[in-house]
Amino acid sequence: MSDYTPGEIMTIEAARRLENGTVCFVGIGMPSAAANLARLTHAPDVVLIYESGTIGAKPDVLPLSIGDGELAEHADTVVSVPEIFRYWLQGGRVDIGFLGAAQIDRFGNINTTVIGGEYAKPKVRLPGAGGAPEIASNAKEVWIIIKQSKRSFVSKLDFLTSVGHLDGGDSRAKSGARGKGPTAVITDLGVLVPDATTRELTLVALHPGITVEQAKAATGWELKVATQLATTKAPTDAELATLRDLHARTAQAHGTVSSE
């Protein structure tokens, strides 16, 4: 078994969960790396949709932007931006919406808008919503991939950009959001899933060598832990080799460093 980084096991664990044939609406960055790793390993027929309008994208290298020509080049088809959101997402054809975030709360609501201060005068202005609010409320399920720390796992979001399980319980269902909402949060420490009743994120698996104490210390609220805590499988040599090849190709193509 090779050594691996926390970022690598996070990406690999997320990739493993993506079943062959799934229709996945992919966010840029870590979701894109995981989704393409799945496509290059166990899920060759996964359908990757990017908000730039590319359906069935099969990039040879990871896109730097959500609209890289690489995505269009090998896609099954390229449609307009209104069509991708209206027909394919809002029309109910997306199985998994796969998102990243700057902040997440205990109910899987996410923030990509502002950190600190007030909305009109924030401490840090983030890029904003992009496609996330409608991906989060129209995909059949949502997965979130995010590095776990007290800065990212917060008791109260500075801004709720995209809905998760809202205030927990049945509040999401009552809100008019469609789909199941977040069903998995994959981090560099482990995996969280919502409780069946309260919908609060619960730690259900840790990556090899990670302790519950580490996960709790990296969470800004009192983290719920499943009684039957699983350990994720360490990355195989084949998974690591495929991921590293992908990143090496990407770095060479873009002239930049690609990781996770």
Q: Which residue has the tokens 């800065």?
A: 151
DSSP-derived secondary structure for 132-143 = HHHHHHHSSEEE
Instruction: Find the shortest distance in angstroms from Cβ 213 to another protein.
Output: 32
Instruction: Find the shortest distance in angstroms from Cβ 200 to another protein.
Output: 16
Instruction: Find the shortest distance in angstroms from Cβ 91 to another protein.
Output: 10
Return d(Cα 136, Cα 179) in angstroms, integer.
8
DSSP H helix total and E strand total for the chain: 8, 14
Site residues (vs another protein, CB under 8 A): 28, 51-54, 63-69, 71-72, 78-82, 85-86, 89-90, 109, 113, 119-125, 127-134, 137-138, 159-163, 166, 172, 175-178, 254-256
For another protein, which is the closer residue by CB, 21 or 128?
128
Catalytic: 51? yes
For another protein, which is the closer residue by CB, 16 or 172?
172
Instruction: Find the shortest distance in angstroms from Cβ 71 to another protein.
Output: 8
Return d(Cα 26, Cα 128) in angstroms, integer.
17
Q: Helix or strand or coil: residue 192?
A: strand
Q: Which residues of 54-87 are buried (b: 16+ CB within 10 A; e: fewer)?
A: bbebbbebbbbebbbebbbeebeebbeeeebbee
E strand or H helix at 155 = none
Say if residues 127 and 60 touch (Cβ distance below 8 Å). no
Instruction: Find the shortest distance in angstroms from Cβ 111 to another protein.
Output: 9
Q: Which of 51, 134, 200, 239 is catalytic?
A: 51
Return d(Cα 169, Cα 235) in angstroms, integer.
35
For another protein, which is the closer residue by CB, 161 or 232?
161
**The two structure tokens encoding residue 178:** 């469609």
CB contact set of 109 (below 8 Å; sequence gap of 6+): 157, 160, 162, 163, 164, 165, 166
For another protein, which is the closer residue by CB, 182 or 235?
182
For another protein, which is the closer residue by CB, 171 or 236?
171
**Residues classed as catalytic:** 51
